[in-house]
Amino acid sequence: MRVAVFGGSFDPPHLAHQQAVRHLLRSPEVDRVLVVPVYEHAFDKALAPFEHRVRMCELSMLEDDRVTVSRIEASLGRPSYTLHTLRALHQQHPSWSLRLVVGADVLHDATKWHKFEEVCRLAPLMPLGRKGVEGTLAPEPVLPEVSSTEVRELLRGRESSRVPSALRSRLLELLAPEVLAYIEEHDLYR
């Protein structure tokens, strides 16, 4: 089985993440997509709690039974290195042929990853282009120019756990309604 491993912080998962999954499912090189929220960022970025990010991924990306959200990184050692995740997936699913999905924006930092050559050997890269990201390594854009950083900044602008209507309409352009409701319910990103 050909499995696209789509890892990331998903802090929070947004429109571009959903579009990436849909794009991957249309690829003749992919049978399944495994969404893998990072447990703890290898570069020490502060993240919302893991279980919240996993749940938001489930709310926004499980429209198709060929998509699974994995909690594998919660059971691995720290810090969360992509290499450790890929090794564990190979051990648990030796029949899977893995491809690692990366956004064009991370291609420039990929050589900073822990044992990048082995990562590429275990799961050859499957880069996705994003509007606003250019360079010799960046493929044609298939994803809109939106980032979790932008979404978090918008969410921090609210006064309470409830989002004002003007801000809500902009956030609903970037987030699944279920994700925004979850963020409000759990008062995240304030």
**Domain assignment of residue 34, yes or no:** yes
The verdict on pTM exceeding 0.85 is yes
Query: Is 158 a residue whose pLDDT tops 80?
Result: no
Q: What pLDDT does residue 173 have?
A: 92
Structure tokens at 72: 């594998």
Query: Is 12 a residue whose pLDDT tops 80?
Result: yes
Into how many domains does the chain fold? 1
Q: What is the pLDDT confidence band of residue 40, given thresholds at 50, 70 and 90?
A: confident
**Domain assignment of residue 151, yes or no:** no
**Domain assignment of residue 97, yes or no:** yes
Strand partners, 152: none
Query: Is 135 a residue whose pLDDT tops 70?
Result: no
Query: Is 126 a residue whose pLDDT tops 70?
Result: yes
Query: Is 139 a residue whose pLDDT tops 70?
Result: no
Query: Is 23 a residue whose pLDDT tops 80?
Result: yes
Q: What pLDDT does residue 144 have?
A: 78
| CA nearest to 11, candidates 185, 155, 111 | 155
**Domain assignment of residue 184, yes or no:** no
Q: Which domain holds residue 77?
A: 2-144
Please state, in angstroms and as integers, the Cα–Cα distance from residue 39 to each residue in 153, 160, 184, 190, following that order.
22, 27, 22, 21
Residue 167's H or E segment, with its range, is helix 165-174
User: Average pLDDT over the chain, rounded to whole?
Assistant: 88
Residues 45-63 have pLDDT tens digits of 789 999 999 999 999 998 8
**Domain assignment of residue 121, yes or no:** yes
Q: What is the pLDDT confidence band of residue 136, given thresholds at 50, 70 and 90?
A: low
CA distance from start to end of the chain: 41
**Domain assignment of residue 80, yes or no:** yes
Section 131-138 average pLDDT? 59
Structure tokens at 48: 């919302």
Distance CA 54, CA 1 (A): 24
* Residue 5 contacts residue 34 (beta carbons within 8 Å): yes
Q: What pLDDT does residue 46 have?
A: 84
Report the relative pairing of strands 67-69 and 141-143 from DSSP bridges.
unpaired
Section 154-174 average pLDDT? 80
Residue 118's H or E segment, with its range, is helix 116-122
**Domain assignment of residue 190, yes or no:** no
Q: What pLDDT does residue 168 have?
A: 84
**Domain assignment of residue 65, yes or no:** yes
Query: Between 134 and 109, whose confidence is greater?
Result: 109
Query: Is 111 a residue whose pLDDT tops 80?
Result: no
Query: Is 133 a residue whose pLDDT tops 70?
Result: no
Q: What CATH number does the domain containing 108 carry?
A: 3.40.50.620
Q: What pLDDT does residue 108 have?
A: 72
Alpha helices in 43-95 (DSSP H): 50-61, 82-92
Cβ neighbours around 38 below 10 Å, total: 21
Q: What DSSP character marks residue 100?
A: E
3-state secondary structure of 39: coil
Query: What ranges make up the beta strands (E) of the chain?
Result: 2-8, 32-37, 67-69, 97-103, 125-130, 141-143
Distance CA 144, CA 133 (A): 10
